[in-house]
Amino acid sequence: MKPEIEKVDITEKGRNADGETIAVDRRLFVQLLAFGGVKDTAVLIRALEDNHIQGALYADINDPQGVALVTFSEDPDYFVSDMRTFYNQPPFSELTPKPEYTMLGRTYSLGYEADLEETLIHRPTRRILDPALAWVVYYPLRRAGSFEQLSAQEQRVVLMEHGGIGMAYGRAGLGHDLRLACHGLDKNDNDFVVGLIGPQLAPLSMIVQRMRKTKQTSLHLERLGPFFIGKVAWQSKMETGDGRLSQNARSPISNLKSLEIPNS
């Protein structure tokens, strides 16, 4: 008897109002790259705007000359074509890369979402570009093998406890999360990238503190970090009124321009 061949399905799953499974083959890739040696963020901002980059630039609270740039696209080719060209021209080519903070992940569904495009594309974009959400804490994490040994029901209980904290802070307008899977995308073999985004920094720190006591963090995580903590120095603008991605975010940018970084 021949073994059954596994059927591969790479779509993201959700569930509509009638309880029927829905699926889409779309997701957003999000990348954070950090740099040092920045003396004038205005030069970086001009380059970002001149090249119509979609994303956000953050000032590193722990490095007076540090920044991080978060960009996103549905097409991962964007990062090795347009963004690669952009980073290899002044002013970013004159900066010092900080690869220990590099993070790359993809949005994913949990299986119950009724609006998958909202979950996978539009909501993450709005959170990155929302001018009211000025502070960010980004970090990778790896789950311990003990979590994978739990039953599906036990995993749901653990995740509900963890997620309940995030939902409470979100309802209060104090913090929102950006959940990204990075399996096979992270040089340190992490499983997820988490972005905590909010109007103030203290509540984001408190979210991390509260989650230390959950079963997932205290019993089923192998490692966390490093943490990038920053405040918005610049954000691109949403180009449509409904939070939908603009064409610039979906398509390769063209006519890349560069700006020389001053010597002083």
Question: For the residues 114-125, what does the mean pLDDT come to?
Answer: 96
Give residue 1's pLDDT.
66
Percent of the chain with pLDDT strictly greater than 70: 85
Is 253 a residue whose pLDDT tops 50?
no
Q: What is the pLDDT of residues 51-104, one digit of tens each?
A: 999 999 999 999 999 999 999 999 999 999 999 999 999 999 999 999 999 999
pTM higher than 0.75: yes
Q: What domains sit in the chain, N to C, each tagged with a CATH number?
A: 14-234 (3.30.70.1030)
Task: State the SS3 of the chain.
Answer: CCCCCCCCCCCEEEECCCCCEEEECCCCEEEEEEEECCCCHHHHHHHHHHCCCCEEEEEECCCCCCEEEEEEECCCHHHHCHHHHHHCCCCHHHCEECHHHCEEEECCCCCCCCCHHHHHHHHHHHHHHCCCCCEEEEEEEEECHHHHCCCHHHHHHHHHHHHHHHHHHHHCCCCEEEEEECCCCCCCCCCEEEEEEECCHHHHHHHHHHHCCCHHHHHHEEEECCCEEEEEEEECCCCCCCCCCCHHHHCCCCCCCCCCCCCC
Is 254 a residue whose pLDDT tops 90?
no
Q: What is the pLDDT of residues 182-231, one digit of tens each?
A: 999 999 999 999 999 999 999 999 999 988 887 676 676 788 999 999 99
Percent of the chain with pLDDT strictly greater than 90: 69
Give residue 154's pLDDT.
72
Question: For the residues 257-261, what does the mean pLDDT come to?
Answer: 36
Give residue 148's pLDDT.
72
When pLDDT is cut at 50, 70 and 90, the band that residue 240 belongs to is low
Give residue 165's pLDDT.
82
Q: Which comes out higher in pLDDT, residue 255 or 7?
A: 7
Identify the weakest region by mean pLDDT among 131-135, 212-216, 233-237.
212-216
